[in-house]
Amino acid sequence: MGDLTQLMDNEVFRAFASYAAIILSKMMLMSTATAFYRMTRKVFANPEDCATFGKGENAKKYLRTDDRVERVRRAHLNDLENIVPFLGIGLLYSLSGPDPSIAILHFRLFVGARIYHTIAYLMPLPQPNRALGFLVGYAVTLSMAYRLLKSRLYL
């Protein structure tokens, strides 16, 4: 077990673990937000989900789409599209021996930008608030990919 806990003794890796766990937990909240809007607005995608509101044709009227629910789902999918590259590239970048202060700055910027992106998407705030959150997270991830490939490329 000693070897493993040594990984977590590394400052960069431990910081990556903390920021990754935080941003993934935030992403999981989007499921709760979707469920909240589906139930309060009675908007469902599956017949079995609205069986308690009526039987047969009476229940079918709840099988519909709703702007609010679709907005949360788009925010959730955008999270997936951006947090998956952060996870993969960030993990490998953390293991490539980067400068700790630069690495931790990357993690903080990414997590801050994605939280801001979610707030801007769900409020919603006028553009370019959401675009800014997206672009900062995107640039941070590409910067980590560039640093990883520059120092450790092996094809």
The footprint of its own copies (CB under 8 A) covers 1, 3-8, 10-22, 24-25, 27-28, 30-31, 45-46, 48-49, 51-52, 70-71, 74, 76-77, 80-85, 87-89, 91-92, 94-97, 108, 124-127, 130, 134, 138, 141-142, 145, 148-149, 152-155
Kind and range of the H or E run holding 117? helix 100-122
SS (H, E, C) 36-82: HHHHHHCCECCHHHHHHHCCCHHHHCCECCCHHHHHHHHHHHHHHHH
Instruction: State the nearest-atom distance from the C-beta of 51 to its own copies, in Å.
Output: 7
Instruction: State the nearest-atom distance from the C-beta of 85 to its own copies, in Å.
Output: 4
Instruction: State the nearest-atom distance from the C-beta of 31 to its own copies, in Å.
Output: 6
Distance in angstroms (rounded) separating the CA atoms of residues 101 and 22: 19
Query: With respect to its own copies, which residue has the nearer C-beta, 40 or 153?
Result: 153
Query: With respect to its own copies, which residue has the nearer C-beta, 41 or 92?
Result: 92
Query: With respect to its own copies, which residue has the nearer C-beta, 41 or 71?
Result: 71
| Phi-psi map region of 55: left, alpha, beta (phi>0 left; psi -120 to 50 alpha) | beta
Distance in angstroms (rounded) separating the CA atoms of residues 78 and 55: 35
Q: In terms of C-beta density within 10 A (0-12 exposed, 13-18 middle, 19 or more buried), how is residue 150 classed? A: exposed
Query: With respect to its own copies, which residue has the nearer C-beta, 119 or 145?
Result: 145
Instruction: State the nearest-atom distance from the C-beta of 73 to its own copies, in Å.
Output: 9
